[in-house]
Amino acid sequence: MPGCASSEARLRSSCSTPRARGRGLATEAGLAARDCGFGALGLASLVGYALPENTASCHALSKIGMREEEMVHIFGLDALRFAVTRPGG
């Protein structure tokens, strides 16, 4: 996928419908993806991207243990990059 390092696996989620917002679905999906990535897939680290003005997405990434790293240009947009490393790794 353009804009990503070749070693990065990607999962895209979107809860953009009014009925989905504010229900914790992005956090729940993020926790499941994080656990699968570190568990079954054995990945050493995970990254996430969110538009700076999308505070809900930034908050969801933080809630699953990701830390804001830097502003990057990816997918044709300026976005915040978040990352987390496998515990104990």
Tens-place pLDDT, residues 2-13: 455 555 666 666
pTM of the complete model: 0.79
Within 8 A by CB and 6+ apart from 27, the residues are: 60, 63, 64
Mean pLDDT over 33-55 rounds to 93
| pLDDT for the residue 32 | 93
| pLDDT for the residue 11 | 60
What's the token pair of residue 50? Answer: 């969110």
Mean pLDDT over 24-50 rounds to 91
Mean pLDDT over 46-56 rounds to 93
All structural domains of the chain, each given as residue ranges with its CATH number in brackets, are 25-85 (3.40.630.30)
Tens-place pLDDT, residues 55-73: 999 999 999 999 999 999 9
